[in-house]
Structure 1
Amino acid sequence: MNKHESDILELLLKDSKLTQRQISERTHLSLGLVNKTIKSLKQKGYLSNNNRITNKLINLAEKTSPKSAVILAAGLGMRMVPINVETSKGILRVKGEVLIERLIKQLHEASISDIVVIVGFMKEKYEYLIDKFNVQLIVNSKYSEKNNLYSVKLAEKKLANCYIIPCDLYFKENPFSKVEFSSWYMVSDCKTDESSYRINRKCELVKSKKGNRLIGLCYLTSQDAKMIRERIDDLCSDSAYDRSFWEKALESNNKLCILAKEISDNDVIEINTYEQLCTADSKSDHLNNQSIDIICKTLKIVPEDIHDINTLKKGMSNRSFIFTAKGSRYIMRIPGKGTGHLINRNNECRNYSALKEMAVVDEPLYIDRSNGYKLTRFIEGSHPCDAHNFSEVSLCMNKLRLLHDANLCVDHEFSLFDQIEFYESLWPNKASAYSDYETTKKNVMKLRKYIELNIEKKTLCHIDAIPDNFLLKGNDVFMIDWEYSGMQDPHIDIAMFCIYSMYDQNEIDKLIDIYFKNNCPDNIRLKIYCYVSACGLLWSNWCEYKYQLGIDFGEYSLKQYRYAKEYYRLAEKELGEFL
């Protein structure tokens, strides 16, 4: 059955007395095409000679019509920054209605009550739906590492005569029906460069440089769902597709394997960004957001002046987003989960005060001593240091040496070995995931004596001196993010750069030679090896704290623990009985 036949049959099932002219007006098909299609439907036995529905059509409707729905609500919604820090997109209230509640009510109007909601990020926010609407929740525990292809797989048993629905859609009219005759994927009549599929004359969605805006709502009949489930299983078995959208399972020979359902772009609103929410509902309570308030008060603007919001790469301690206001770009930092236990924001403010006269920092326009929200100008034309481009690394080490030679002072110290103990004390589970942790910790603590005997001076150090915190603009270097900074031995910064870059020993020695201009004393090189071990354990403990809060840093955390063990062994060979 083609798309025109399906559309006409759906109308006639609702009102069998419609004339061909009325059908033409409602489907936007020409009168000639309506006449031709009705003749075809009569020949196939779906309509009688007087245009009445037949038992064959009724049987087909029972076989293909909707039985269930799967709503996708597991994602982080990173494009919704800063609102996603406080609220999951499906719970947004638009025009007085919660998005996901409106979708569920529209499904109920179409007599669909078997509804599954796939949740992950802020899953607790959706729990009330079980009691209010008798829906089923399925938890996608891998929402931060896999895209919605995996979410759909979790609900694949439901994929038969089923709607698949993103949670962030607001339809002005109910898009769901009691009757469906074929599978379809919804697009709008708006053409956009962001879409790579356009509708052709056969109502197929074919590859194109500029296509129809993809809405994301889909309907799968039982027959098509069987094939799609097999494709989903195949894709999910290959880690290369971990970040894929579920629509990947619909792709076949440069087109989608099901037909298009086109609606007017004015009939649906996608709430995928802060700006889309502003456009959809300028009075939404969700626009009263702390970071937006800070931006408006600091820059003396209104929310409507904020444009082009984009999430920056997620930091290990914070989230940040970039935006444009009145022709200039800025970065807003939002503290990450658990950060309040890790960072003293008063100390961070003191660091910036001490650095004020040095041309090395991102001077804050706003910084909150109580919670760590920070607003800075975006450094146009800059990029983070490439740790494996040693020309860039040399520029960064020159800037780091300049900082250390300035001998700046603050009234707080970053105590490396005390911080190792402190991060461990924060672990909710009170035990390490590493079976030999106690032995490793004991060994690392033995290095403290040698380190302290070889400290020549203490000055303000960055502490978090990692490549991402060095921004290069031509030959200029800016150092950003001074939240961990304090008084320390300058050589700790060298070790920190090395372990974040995951350098091997040859690369570590190369960095040391760059910083010291090929004149590093043997005892200082060995001390830096000891710092590599101790700092490795420090960040391993930090990662364990974050992991027990549900945040996994993958290979980075394992590598830090390896640094702790391997560079202790290296130091042990040199120090012998001293330990």
Structure 2
Amino acid sequence: MKTAVILSARKERDTETPYPLQPFGEGECLLDRTLGILRDNGIEKIVLVVGFRAELFQPYTQQGITVVVNQDFQFTASMASLALAAPYVDEDFILVESDTFYERVVVERLIASTYSNCLSITDESGKGDEAFVEVHNGFVSKITKDRHQICNIEGEMIGVSKISLDTYRMMLAKYASASNRYVNYEYLLVDCTDTTERPYLKFKNLIWGGVDNVRDFKQLKNYIFPRLCRKENPYDKENLFAYLKKIFPTENIGPSWQIEQIGGMSNKNFKVESPAGRLYILRVPGIASDGMVKRSNEDINGKLACKMEINPPITYFDEHTGLKLSDYIVGAETLNAGTIQRMGNMEQVVDIFKVLHHSQVRFANEFNIFHELLKYERLLQEAGGKAYDGYDKLRPRVFVLEDTLNKLGVDIKPCHNDLVPENFIKGGDGHVYLIDWEYSGMNDPMADFAALFLESDFNDDNIDFVLTRYFEGTVSKCVKQKILIYQVLWDILWSIWTCIKEAKGDNFGTYGQDRFNRALITMERVVHVLD
């Protein structure tokens, strides 16, 4: 396979420069990244179909790319653009939507697949404009943007597919007689093929995103791309072999042990497969973890959580270095801000919180956010960094909140304290686990709820659902006041955390600044609800 078609004709709603041409990381744009990935995988013939601001794409003709203009882009959709590539396509091809950012493994595996047609899908993102996918016996049975039409959502389309020449010709024939010129190519693909002609590859925990508006582009530039950089940052395999040798001193550690990097925000995580086929997750602490996390506390608290059966079994933990090996969860799906707000997942999250908060277990440490903030301020000073502009002015108002919380009443229970959705892992059996107990400690359970709602941007209905299920009835006004206060505190704490990390050489885009800005806004809401 040597051919690819890239669709880039759509009119942008909020910019005069198409998002595929806007630089986001080291001057690279989405289109350049896609072209690089395609060429690295042996694609020689590339057809680029454009429409909106077509003149901006013309320089690509100098790179040997065939640029085709959809003059009717305002009155048609993706199938019309795909049809315009017909004179230049004479074999199976890779089809890419140019506003999509994805890991290069997607193209690599599609090209390597033996299927004539092959769709790529990943876990539901919760973005709001997903092309949902239902599957049956390893094939895609339904594609729709209306979640009400699907009984079981397997995931969503990524926007990168492999299309056979025969299927393409059938799509062209059907489109030639279509009265609806706004039809998208994926629906014609379904119409023109049997279910068994629509195999798919599912990429779990993929770093990717579609860019439809300025918010999406900001997300790409400041969050998604830095995450990919951290994941793709070269690692020393020999060092990892040395870690594994320490964990398994009697084993012959070497190339027969398969290692795959799978990301992580502040740490590096690796999927490890032994020659015998045993699967593990190896966690290597990231930059500037020293001083922030007391590993002996994490060790004790994490093992207590294992006994509660809410944390996967831990095979090895080094309390001095933070090196950890835990069992790999078969069929694991990392939840995200969208999937965690499915009803079944929310029910399991509440059940986890009930087990944890009501366990009567005493964790090894107290996690007092105000004390942690003082510690982080000291670490930031030692690292030679500085807080965001405006912090010094806000700081007195932040510490006054300690008295406010004490007046409202503070409960001290075992808490997780780091409730990003990626710390919830759903196994193939449907059971949800809560992982990464680095910041765990005795705290107010409302701080856990504050973090949960904040990190996944819970909507009001889902907040009410979770709290009502947890309290098994009426939720007091005091509960919501405390949650709002803790949301200010979490944003302030993690903004300082980011400053420390970046002072040590890490890069989190605008993550920390955005959290600080949100804290300023939430602080005003706190003042209002307490009046």
Give the CA deviation at 1:478: 1.5
Give 1:524's match in structure 2, choosing from 474, 479, 496: 479
Whether the 8 Å CA contact 1:320–1:334 is kept in 2: the answer is: yes
Q: Which residue of the other structure, out of 247, 270, 283, is the alignment partner of 1:321?
A: 270
1:376 aligns with 2:326: yes
Conserved? CA contact 2:495–2:513, under 8 Å: yes
| Structure 2 residue aligned with 1:227 | 62
Q: What does 1:111-260 correspond to in 2, within 5 Å?
A: 142=25, 195=41, 197=43, 205=44, 227-228=62-63, 240=99
Instruction: Give 3-state SS (helix, strand or coil) of 1:538's partner.
Output: helix
Q: 1:180 maps to what in 2?
A: none
1:156-555 alignment runs, 5 A limit: 195=41, 197=43, 205=44, 227-228=62-63, 240=99, 288-289=238-239, 291-299=240-248, 300-304=250-254, 306-312=256-262, 314-325=263-274, 326-385=276-335, 386-427=339-380, 428-433=383-388, 435-473=389-427, 474-503=429-458, 507-554=462-509
- The code of the aligned residue for 1:441 comes to R
Structure 2: unaligned runs, 5 residues or longer? 1-22, 47-58, 67-96, 108-162, 164-235
What is the alpha-carbon distance in structure 1 between the residues aligned to residue 475 and residue 468 of structure 2? 7
Contact persistence 2:491–2:518 (CA under 8 A): yes
The amino acid of 1:532's aligned partner reads Q
Aligned residue identity for 2:346: V
- Cα offsets for 1:335-381 (capped at 9, x unmatched): 11111131111111121343342111122211111111111110102
- CA distance, structure 2, for counterparts of residue 509 and residue 545 of structure 1: 35
Classify 1:244/1:489 alpha carbon distance in 2 versus 1 (closer, same or farther; 3 Å): closer
3-state SS of paired residue (2:284): strand
Q: State the AA in 2 paired with 1:465.
A: L
Encode CA deviations 1:411-466: one digit per residue, 9 max, x unaligned.
31111011122223222444323x32223222222221121233453122111122
Alignment of 1:566-577 (within 5 A): 566-576=521-531
Output the CA distance in 2 between the equivalents of 1:440 and 1:545. Answer: 19
| Native 8 Å contact 1:404 1:459 kept in 2 | yes
- Cα distance in 1 between the residues matched to 2:529 and 2:45: 66
The aligned runs of 1:46-125 (5 Å cut-off) are: none
String of CA shifts for 1:394-415, please: whole Å, max 9, x gaps: 2111111111110210331111
Q: Could you list the runs of 5+ residues in structure 1 that have no partner in the other structure? A: 1-139, 154-165, 167-184, 188-194, 198-204, 208-223, 232-237, 249-253, 255-285
Q: For 2:63 and 2:269, how far apart are their aligned partners in 1?
A: 37
Which structure has more relative contact order (CA 8 Å, sep 6+)? It is 2
Provide the rounded CA distance (Å) in 1 between the counterparts of 2:309 and 2:363: 18
The alpha-carbon distance between structure 1 residues 230 and 422, as it changes in their structure 2 partners (threshold 3 A), is farther
Identical-pair percentage:
23
Name the CA shift for 1:226/1:527 in 2 (closer, same or farther; >3 Å).
closer
The 1:143/1:306 distance shift into structure 2, 3 A limit, reads farther
Task: Tell me: CA distance 1:420–1:506, structure 2 relative to 1, closer, same or farther (3 Å).
Answer: farther
Q: Which amino acid aligns with 1:525?
A: K
Per the normalisation by structure 2, the TM-score is 0.55
Contact 2:293–2:439, Cα closer than 8 Å, also in 1 = yes
Give me the whole-angstrom Cα distance separating, in 1, the residues matched to 2:460 and 2:101. Answer: 33
Letter of the 2:281 partner, please give it: I
- State whether residues 261 and 271 of structure 2, in contact with CA within 8 Å, keep that contact through their aligned partners in structure 1: yes
Whole-angstrom CA distance in 1 between matches of 2:60 and 2:511 = 40
Question: CA contact under 8 A between 1:502 and 1:559: conserved in structure 2?
Answer: no
Q: Is 2:385–2:499's contact at 8 Å kept on the other side of the alignment?
A: no
Contact 2:241 2:254 in 1 (8 A): no
1:444·1:564 contact (CA, 8 Å) conserved in 2? no
Deviation at 1:317, TM superposition (A): 1.7
Q: CA deviation at 1:297?
A: 4.3
Deviation at 1:143, TM superposition (A): 5.9
Aligned partners of 2:484 and 2:366: how far apart in 1?
21
Which letter maps to 2:519? A
**Conservation of the 8 A alpha-carbon contact between 2:280 and 2:327:** yes
Deviation at 1:144, TM superposition (A): 11
* 2:420 and 2:451 in contact (8 A); partners too: yes
In the comparison of the two structures, how many residue pairs are matched? 333
Q: Is 1:561 equivalent to 2:521 in the alignment?
A: no
Write the deviation string for residues 151-193 of structure 1: whole angstroms up to 9, x where unpaired.
x99xxxxxxxxxxxx9xxxxxxxxxxxxxxxxxx999xxxxxx
Give the whole-Å Cα distance in 2 for the aligned partners of 1:308 and 1:463: 33
Where 1:447 maps in the other structure, the secondary structure is helix
Contact persistence 2:283–2:323 (CA under 8 A): yes
C-alpha contact 1:306 1:323 (8 A) present in aligned 2: no
Mark the structure with the bigger radius of gyration: 1
Deviations 1:474-530 (A, max 9, x none): 442211111111111122111111121133555544443343234221112211111
Q: 1:146 to 1:331 in 2, by over 3 A?
A: farther
TM-score using structure 1 length: 0.50
Separation (CA, whole Å) in 2 of partners of 1:288 and 1:309: 11
Q: SS of the residue aligned with 2:520? A: helix
